[in-house]
Amino acid sequence: MSTFRHILQAAGRLYRRVFKRQFDPHVREIANVLRSVPVLSHLSSGALHAMAEASHRRTYRRGESLYYEGDPGLGLYVVESGRIRLISDADPDRPRTLREPEVHEMFGGLSLLGDFRRLETAETITEARVLGFFRPDLKNVMRRNPQAGTEIVMAIARRVATQYVEAVRVIEEREGRDVALDIYAEASSRAEAGSVSMS
């Protein structure tokens, strides 16, 4: 009887693993939101569903902070609804708005790839609903579905690389090519030396 029960339990686990994605409307809804995020839009259905299953939906009231500049970064957020602004509060008397992520836009992705401190504060302008996906979630996805985890990491890495290249271009436009290349070379040397600390 014990062996039969183990077989039934194993069959139940397999059934849930294979069919859960198709029948869970919550996961399907989150996967559709993630599919709308430009950075994640090229992920396979399997990777999107794996990410959706591990994502956390949160609602913030107007004026709440999701994280603060200098905090250890734990993961990324996707705006589902409402308005959020990313600000620099190095001068508490005059916080400076850096940008406002649009609905279905991702922010904070750098911290998914490593233990980097937040470069800005994220706070709500209106009530907002977001999806959060954090490093422990990524580790769980990697453990359960290495292919999906690899796809997610590659998508985030491409986004960070694109931002890096665009940062060099912006510096070039503002300060000239020589300054941009000098900053690029110095940043590369610091990264190679392991001296980059986002604190």
Indicate the domain borders of the chain. 2-193
pLDDT recorded at residue 127: 98
pLDDT recorded at residue 42: 95
pLDDT recorded at residue 194: 75
pLDDT recorded at residue 93: 80
Q: What's the pTM value of the predicted model, to 2 decimals?
A: 0.81
**Strands of 84-88's sheet in order across:** 65-67, 121-124, 84-88, 96-99
Outline where the chain has alpha helix (H): 2-23, 25-35, 45-54, 135-144, 146-175, 177-193
The span from the CA of 70 to the CA of 111, in Å, is 12
Compute how many other C-beta atoms are within 10 angstroms of the C-beta atom of residue 162: 11
Cβ neighbours of residue 56 closer than 8 Å, sequence gap 6 or more? 131, 132, 133, 134, 137
Which amino acid is it at 15? Y
> Residue written as tokens 């900053």?
183
pLDDT recorded at residue 154: 97
pLDDT recorded at residue 198: 45
Q: pLDDT under 70 in the chain at which residues?
A: 1, 4, 6, 8, 10-23, 195-199
pLDDT in tens, 62-94: 999 999 999 999 999 999 999 999 999 877 788
Q: φ and ψ at 6, to 5 degrees?
A: -65, -40
pLDDT recorded at residue 192: 85
Would you call 77 helix, strand, or coil by DSSP? strand
pLDDT recorded at residue 141: 97
pLDDT recorded at residue 110: 92
pLDDT recorded at residue 46: 95
**Strands of 106-107's sheet in order across:** 56-60, 128-134, 75-81, 106-107
Superfamily classification of domain 2-193: Jelly Rolls (2.60.120.10)
> Residue written as tokens 């708005």?
97
